[in-house]
Amino acid sequence: MSDRLKIGISSCLLGNEVRYDGGHSRNDTIIESMSGLFELIPFCPEVAIGLSIPRLPINLVSINGEIRVRGVSDTSHDVTDALNHYAVSITDQLDVMCGYIFKSRSPSCGLADVNVYGSRTNKVVGVSGGQFARIITQKYPKLPTEDEMRLSNKAIRDNFIQRMLVYSKKNN
């Protein structure tokens, strides 16, 4: 067991082949800059709710003003409730985290840059956070969070590390 502070991280960013296409999004900058200071705890909500690897892609879809997570080719495949349930079910694990790094543009893990499609037009009607990320950030509004795209900027990465250290002191 590690004495290092814990960070939740989208599993694909660590090189785990859990993406919908069976690939990963390994981010060496994050791994190299964070793993010496923090224990990186991987999460993949899509796999955790039972979606296969590989799997058909999912999108955020606006339906009567509500955002749902649905299959791209099979719109009856709705995983919104499963993602919500998973986010709530891992509360005890997140209580010990000092931060979370999300995968950008992911319909489950994107922080704020995920396209939302219209249910009838299949055209982009807005942007939002991914379903899992929205639940986590609502439940833990003070938990430092970032996505891997922003963390490519050293100043943002250094600030994120500082925010996590301050958060860990306030919550211990």
| Residues 93-133 pLDDT 10s | 999 999 999 999 999 999 999 999 999 888 999 999 999 99
Q: CA triplet 74, 80, 86: central angle to 5 degrees?
A: 130
Average of per-residue pLDDT across 32-57: 96
Q: How confident is the model at residue 15 (pLDDT cuts 50, 70, 90)?
A: very high
> For 58-77, how does the pLDDT look when each residue is reduced to its tens digit (9 = 90+)?
999 999 999 999 999 998 99
Q: How many CA atoms lie within 13 A of 45 on its CB side?
A: 30
Give me the pLDDT at residue 14, please. Answer: 98
Which residues, 6 or more positions from 4, have their beta carbon under 8 angstroms from its beta carbon?
37, 38, 39
- Domains in the chain with CATH codes: 5-56+79-112+130-170 (3.40.50)
* Local confidence band at 2 (pLDDT 50, 70, 90 cut-offs): low
For position 148, what pLDDT does the model report?
A: 97
The sign of the CA dihedral 106, 60, 52, 137 is positive
Please, are residues 108 and 69 in contact by the beta-carbon 8 Å criterion?
Answer: yes
pTM: 0.94
C-alpha span between 168 and 143 (Å, rounded): 9
- Integer Cα distance of 25 and 17 in angstroms: 8
Q: How high is the mean pLDDT of the chain?
A: 95
